[in-house]
Structure 1
Amino acid sequence: MNMEAPLPFPAGRSEPDVIAFHRQELSVILSLYGRMVAAGEWRDYAISHGREAAVFSIFRRTAETPLYRIEKRPKLRLKQGMFAVLGEGGQVLRRGHDLQQVLRVLEKKLIRPVD
């Protein structure tokens, strides 16, 4: 009789159960968030982690829908990029592989003409 011993961990599972932002990614996002708070544009944020994506939501006021959402979807890393910035209506403002490049669409809000 040929019997195989059970494996302690399921084979072939390379993806984690929950998607989250890494420390460097969160540092880049919070740096931009801090500058926008200092400029008076943003007031609150929320972070959610799920099986499909990690989302950093940015609010102008606490009791509103998110003004912007920064999403990390690792399943799209080989296609159009795993990072995306979405607007209030859900439209994709920018998508890509490099988080700093993707966040440049939001940094343009900091540039204002001087009177």
Structure 2
Amino acid sequence: MTDHGTGGEGREDSAILIPLHEARRERDNIPVTFQRRELDQILKVYSMMVAAGEWRDYAIDHLKERAVFSVFRRTSEVPLFQIVKTPALARKQGAFSVVAASGLIMKRGHDLERVLAVFDKALKVVRA
């Protein structure tokens, strides 16, 4: 006779829920990517800044823990800003953030559109 009621009920780890997409990402070692809608929002801001003559180039990196959209004034320089998606922070501070060249996190949140609103103000590069 088998006892189906015992096994994992008394253990503490039996109540931990892991979202299926996170389990698959860890198992398959899939990098984090921007979804199409997110990329559309980012490229909308990027195109407005290019039209204003502020930005000239970009790069997209899909890493294991995060996806990064970097914007440049010139290709040979360090990025002016990085738009970062870190799914591990989605429940805490929010998955999205805008990071300045100095490493300062300018805005962080759950909603990409609100995070990208930091670029609505006229941003200027300060050179020392």
State the TM-score, normalizing by the size of structure 1.
Answer: 0.82
Task: Return the index of the structure with the highest Cα Rg.
Answer: 2
State the TM-score, normalizing by the size of structure 2.
Answer: 0.74
Residue ranges of structure 1 left out of the alignment (5+ in a row): 1-11, 111-115
Spell out the pairing of 1:81-96 with structure 2 (5 A cutoff).
81-96=94-109
- Residue type of the partner of 1:52? E
Q: By how many angstroms is 1:22 displaced?
A: 0.2
Q: Which residue of 2 aligns with 1:98?
A: 111
Spell out the pairing of 1:1-115 with structure 2 (5 A cutoff).
14-15=21-22, 16=25, 17-109=30-122
Q: What secondary structure is seen at the aligned counterpart in 2 of 1:25?
A: helix
Q: How many residues are treated as equivalent by the alignment?
A: 99
Q: Which residue of 2 aligns with 1:9?
A: none
Residue ranges of structure 2 left out of the alignment (5+ in a row): 1-17, 124-128
Matches of 1:106 and 1:53, distance apart in 2: 21
Matches of 2:60 and 2:21, distance apart in 1: 24
Q: Name the structure, 1 or 2, with higher relative contact order (CA <8 Å, separation 6+).
A: 1
Q: Percent identical across equivalent pairs? A: 54
Matches of 2:40 and 2:59, distance apart in 1: 15
- Residue type of the partner of 1:32? V
Q: By how many angstroms is 1:91 displaced?
A: 0.7
Q: By how many angstroms is 1:14 displaced?
A: 3.6
Matches of 1:103 and 1:79, distance apart in 2: 19
Matches of 2:120 and 2:110, distance apart in 1: 17
CA RMSD of aligned residues (A): 1.3
- Residue type of the partner of 1:30? L
Q: What secondary structure is seen at the aligned counterpart in 2 of 1:109?
A: coil
Q: Which residue of 1 aligns with 2:6?
A: none
